[in-house]
Chain A
Amino acid sequence: MWSRVVEVMLGCWLVVSPFVFRYADNATWLWGGTFATATVVILLALSSYWRPMRHAHLATFAVAAGMILVGRFLPADAPPLAYQNFIYVGVLLLMFSLVPNDASRPPRSWKEAPATSN
């Protein structure tokens, strides 16, 4: 579950990043978008600990892809640092979201006998 822990930490970084990158006070949607993204990332990572929701972290992949697209294509010119942060954290989340929960152990399908097994 180490990758889920890192996702929570990246979510926490997103929470503080508006203050680090000094978002303008009137950039309401940017503040809201960053906090909303952080909340979704943290919730998806935490819900992956609950067995029925163990694949929730895969949804982080879509969130991360959205962050990269917003960071790369929303600014008209070269992305300012706040948007570069979206790209950077987005790529990190993209990679971590693919790591399975119990990555160091064999997958369940190799532990149990599936119907198709010979």
Chain B
Amino acid sequence: MPEQALTKQLRSGFPAETSVLGVAVTPWSYNPSSWSQRIPICLLALVGFLVATYMGLFQWKLIDEVWDPIFGKQTAAVLTSTVAEWMHGVFGVPDAAFGALAYLGDAIFGLAGSTRRWQYRPWLVILFGIDVIPLGIVSAILVLCQAFIVGEWCFLCLVTAVISLVLVKMAYDEVLSSLMFLHRIWKKTRSASAVWKATWGWPAPGVKEAAAELVKEPA
């Protein structure tokens, strides 16, 4: 195969068997879907899961006390407050346990997909983004609201809020790459059908060219 054709094939990512998955994507100098990018997100999400589960165990009354090195008994007051009980009523499970599920979702959707999933499975990256970014920001705001409404502070709640915000920072690049990919397809084709197909992982007309334009070089 001529070198130019081979390069075009590598950049477009089609066919996948003979292509390079680890490619740097504009505007980054790295591959946002690489394992080195995603594994730290999953590990941090698992830490968030463990911390939230610990607080959930207290809300389930499976443990009698909750550890807090700074605010002492205030954490227990926050976790048993009327706000927490109201959220328990809404979700059906304690809010901390529900938060734990969200962190686990970050890890699950962070682990799924190849190292070129921003192109091959945009739906998965967008789902991952929905779990990490809006839910992360909302959960951080809720934690802060709880602190201000209840008037007591919860050290572990603040830890999970910080974890949520760090996860947003770590995950946004991959989500942005997928959205830029879909936007580029729209600009090239003006076809909602092409964007729709590309979102679900089908290489419709114009999709390969859009990918090739975003790829910088094999990373």
Contacts and interface: CB of A to CB of B under 8 A. Distances in A.
Interface of B: 13-17, 21, 60, 88-89, 91-93, 97, 101, 104-105, 108-109, 111-114, 116, 120-121, 124, 127, 197, 201-206, 208-209
A60 B193 CA distance: 28
A28 interface: no
Given A87-B92, A106-B116, A107-B121, A95 B202 contact: no
Contact of A110 (B104, B105, B201): B201
Contacts, number: 86
Contact of A98 (B101, B127, B208): B127
A107 B201 contact: yes
Interface string A48-83: 000000000000000000000001100000110101
Chain A to chain B: the 10 pairs with minimum beta-carbon distance, closest first: A106-B16, A103-B112, A72-B92, A110-B16, A107-B201, A118-B205, A99-B112, A106-B120, A87-B92, A84-B93
Given A103-B112, A110-B13, A95 B105 contact: yes
Nearest to B131: A95
A114 B204 CA distance: 8
22 contacts: A72-B92, A83-B92, A84-B93, A87-B92, A88-B93, A88-B101, A95-B101, A95-B104, A98-B127, A100-B112, A100-B124, A104-B112, A104-B113, A106-B120, A110-B14, A110-B16, A110-B120, A114-B203, A117-B14, A117-B208, A118-B206, A118-B209
Nearest to B197: A116
A22 interface: no
Nearest to A113: B15
Nearest to B107: A95
Contact of A3 (B112, B114, B204): B112
A91 interface: yes
